[in-house]
């Protein structure tokens, strides 16, 4: 009987802190655990008793990398509970802000977290020794995203200008002109980035993914729509609790999300691309095709190409919104609290993010429920690991461990987000 176990005590180049354990016996993988050892922060509990206006600022603090995603899902959930809707230029400004976050987050992941895996470096900064112009281009792209978020939100991390109902202040058309100037440049850089990452050497791996993403009839969905699954199922945000259940798995430290009874579906860039690629901007669509992406991409290592395509799309769409922008009459619509339940779903850079709030008859939050993308992907990441490791058990331990880490990074997990919802076990 032969045993093999690979333990990675602290995963690097992911957002947040996690570890990994793979055990095999006689050529079969027996255990795969992606563990979260981040301490829980109890957001769903501390939201109870807060005013209906507070979730955007409070839930932004769940994640410093995707605060806009939290603000958008929170706002939409509260607005739906209160019977309000944000439309027209205010909705466009929300999209614009969100595109900024996509650009910033994807540029970070591609250049500082993911690309070093393909080029054989410990970090993006180390990569600069041999690839300085490429890294500088990546940082410039990241900065363009951050500047877009800051222009609309006040700052790149935990923007201050988002409120339930819209914004505190909206920009004049003239204020957006310099932003557009930078975005035109960023669009060129994004195109070059797609070409650069498309040339990487990708392990020959494909998985039979069950994808889930937001879908919208007219947009590559980011802010609203219905929830689509690659097997043809579709449901409204308000039906989320009927379809998706989080369960505690005794042998694991993780809560696994189950979709209609089965575990292991995938959210994020690959899912959005598979379900909505036909709605990418023409430029992004042609770049994707030139990069060799078919209508569906099942190789998780190639997700870096899909993220680059999404940056290009985000730049393109942001420019279109600025071009068409007319200043709204008021920076926000009134949202009066009323007793009820509201659901909000949007596409965080790393996948679908769901919020639900119940508001009581005094206008305060009675219950909050938040399902972040990484807790949905966790079971699927473990399946990726199992499929990847089993046929490669003969590889040297170091090589196999590196491949495992890469497998986790392929899905850009945000452990900071998920930790606050997942169960936690510490050896004491």
**Residues lying near another protein in the complex (CB under 8 A):** 10-17, 37-46, 48, 50-51, 54, 57-58, 61-65, 67, 108, 112-113, 116, 122-126, 128, 132, 135-136, 139-140, 142-143, 146, 154-158, 160-161, 163, 167-169, 248, 253, 331, 405, 416, 421, 423-426, 428
Min separation Cβ 45 and another protein, Å: 4
Q: Which two tokens stand for residue 363?
A: 């206008």
**Cα–Cα distances in angstroms (integers) from residue 215 to residues 105, 230, 271, in the given order:** 21, 11, 11
Min separation Cβ 103 and another protein, Å: 12
Min separation Cβ 66 and another protein, Å: 10
Contact 313, 319 (CB under 8 A): no
Min separation Cβ 248 and another protein, Å: 5
Min separation Cβ 61 and another protein, Å: 5
Min separation Cβ 116 and another protein, Å: 8
| CB-based contacts of 179, cutoff 8 Å, min separation 6 | 147, 148, 151, 322
Residues 243, 248, 252, 254, Cα dihedral to 10°: 60
What number of CA atoms fall less than 13 Å from residue 184's CA on the CB side? 7
**DSSP-H helix ranges across 165-302:** 173-198, 240-243, 269-276, 282-290
**Residue among 143 and 298 whose Cβ is closer to another protein:** 143
**Residue among 38 and 219 whose Cβ is closer to another protein:** 38
**Residue among 51 and 236 whose Cβ is closer to another protein:** 51
Min separation Cβ 360 and another protein, Å: 13
**Residue among 106 and 285 whose Cβ is closer to another protein:** 106
Min separation Cβ 313 and another protein, Å: 22
C-alpha to C-alpha distance for 111 and 127, rounded to whole angstroms: 9
C-alpha to C-alpha distance for 287 and 305, rounded to whole angstroms: 10
Q: Which residue has 């889930």 as its token pair?
A: 212
Min separation Cβ 324 and another protein, Å: 23
Contact 138, 193 (CB under 8 A): yes
**Residue among 95 and 414 whose Cβ is closer to another protein:** 414
Q: How far is CA 162 from the centre of its chain?
A: 19
Residues 348, 353, 358, 363, Cα dihedral to 10°: -10
C-alpha to C-alpha distance for 219 and 280, rounded to whole angstroms: 8
Find, among 286, 314, 301, the residue nearest to 141 by Cα. Answer: 314
**Cα–Cα distances in angstroms (integers) from residue 158 to residues 29, 57, 62, 285, in the given order:** 42, 7, 10, 31
**Residue among 166 and 225 whose Cβ is closer to another protein:** 166
**DSSP-H helix ranges across 199-334:** 240-243, 269-276, 282-290, 303-324
**Residue among 67 and 342 whose Cβ is closer to another protein:** 67
Please say whether the dihedral angle defined by the alpha carbons of residues 245, 411, 298 and 273, taken in this order, is positive or negative: positive
C-alpha to C-alpha distance for 418 and 132, rounded to whole angstroms: 33
**Angle, helix 303-324 to helix 173-198, in steps of 10 degrees:** 160
**Residue among 167 and 220 whose Cβ is closer to another protein:** 167
**Residue among 163 and 207 whose Cβ is closer to another protein:** 163
**Residue among 192 and 296 whose Cβ is closer to another protein:** 192
**Residue among 150 and 267 whose Cβ is closer to another protein:** 150
Min separation Cβ 151 and another protein, Å: 11
Min separation Cβ 98 and another protein, Å: 17
Q: Which two tokens stand for residue 151?
A: 């222009």
């Amino acid at each position: 009987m032969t045993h093999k176990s690979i333990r990675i005590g602290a995963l690097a180049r992911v957002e947040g802190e996690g570890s990994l354990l793979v055990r095999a016996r006689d050529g079969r993988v027996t255990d795969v655990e992606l563990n979260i050892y981040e301490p829980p922060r109890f957001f769903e509990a501390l939201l109870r008793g807060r005013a209906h206006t507070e979730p955007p600022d409070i839930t932004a603090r769940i994640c410093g990398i995707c605060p806009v995603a939290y603000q958008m899902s929170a706002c939409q959930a509260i607005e739906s509970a209160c019977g309000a809707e944000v439309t027209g230029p205010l909705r466009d400004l929300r999209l614009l802000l969100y595109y900024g976050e996509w650009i910033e987050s994807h540029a970070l992941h591609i250049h500082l977290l993911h690309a070093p895996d393909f080029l054989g470096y410990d970090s993006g900064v180390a990569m600069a020794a041999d690839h300085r112009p490429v890294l500088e281009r990546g940082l410039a792209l990241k900065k363009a995203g951050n500047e877009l978020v800051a222009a609309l939100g006040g700052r790149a991390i935990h923007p201050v200008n988002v409120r339930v109902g819209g914004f505190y202040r909206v920009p004049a058309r003239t204020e957006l002109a310099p932003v557009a100037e930078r975005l035109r440049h960023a669009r060129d850089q994004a195109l070059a980035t797609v070409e650069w990452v498309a040339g990487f050497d990708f392990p020959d791996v494909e998985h039979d993914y069950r994808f889930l993403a937001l879908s919208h009839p007219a947009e590559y969905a980011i802010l609203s729509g219905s929830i689509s699954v690659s097997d043809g199922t579709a449901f409204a945000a308000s039906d989320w609790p009927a379809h998706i259940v989080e369960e505690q798995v005794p042998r694991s430290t993780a809560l696994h999300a189950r979709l209609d009874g089965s575990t292991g579906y995938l959210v994020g860039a690959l899912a959005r691309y598979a379900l909505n690629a036909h709605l990418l901007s023409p430029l992004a669509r042609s770049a994707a095709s030139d990069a060799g992406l078919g209508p569906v991409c099942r190789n998780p290592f190639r997700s870096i190409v899909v993220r680059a395509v999404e940056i290009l799309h985000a730049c393109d769409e942001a420019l279109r919104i600025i071009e068409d922008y007319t200043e709204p009459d008021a920076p926000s619509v009134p949202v009066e609290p009323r007793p009820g339940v509201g659901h909000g779903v949007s596409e965080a850079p790393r996948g679908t993010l769901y919020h639900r709030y119940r508001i009581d008859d005094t206008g305060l939050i009675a219950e909050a429920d938040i399902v972040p993308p990484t807790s949905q992907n966790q079971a699927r990441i473990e399946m990726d690991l199992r499929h990847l490791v089993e046929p490669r058990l003969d590889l040297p331990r170091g090589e196999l461990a590196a491949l495992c880490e890469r497998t986790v990074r392929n899905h850009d997990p945000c452990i900071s987000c998920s930790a606050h919802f997942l169960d936690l076990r510490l050896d004491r």
